Amino acid sequence: MLAALCAAMAGCAYEAASEPEPADFDPAQEAAAIERSRTDRAARAEDAVEDWLEAHPEDAPLREELVAWEREQLVVDDLSEGSFSAVRYGFGREQ
């Protein structure tokens, strides 16, 4: 909603794409870094599903669905560092 409000206003801070960056911060490098992270995440999802299918070959027909699901979960994993659950339950309680 804030973005919508700002879009209707001249000079709104949220519209300020021209905000000067610090001299040593390169937006092109930032875009490349984001791309690297996402490529890496896609590869990790493929690897995780391959590991699962080795133990559960009956799920092979679901491969594409599992890769998509794994990619979605990895985004959340990456944003939930230090999850409480690992502390409370330890490794033994998660099966």
Interface pick for another protein out of 54, 84, 90, 91 (rule CB under 8 A): 84
User: What is the three-class DSSP state of 91?
Assistant: coil
- 3-class state of residue 73 by DSSP: helix
Does residue 51 bind another protein (CB under 8 A)?
A: no
| Measured distance CA(55)–CA(39) in Å, rounded | 25
59 within 8 A of 53, measured Cβ to Cβ: yes
The one-letter amino acid code at 48 reads: A
Q: Which of 54, 88, 90, 91 binds another protein (CB under 8 A)?
A: 88
Minimum Å gap between C-beta 53 and another protein is 12
Which of residues 11 and 54 has its CB atom nearest to another protein in the complex? 11
Out of 1, 57, 60, 91, the only residue in the binding site for another protein (CB under 8 A) is 1
- 9 touches another protein by CB under 8 A: yes
Q: Tell the smallest beta-carbon distance from residue 50 to another protein (Å).
A: 15
Q: Quick one: which of 43, 47, 50, 75 contacts another protein (CB under 8 A)?
A: 75
Please check whether residue 15 is in contact with residue 6, taking contact to mean a CB–CB distance below 8 angstroms.
yes
- Helix (H, G, I), strand (E, B), or coil: what is residue 16? coil
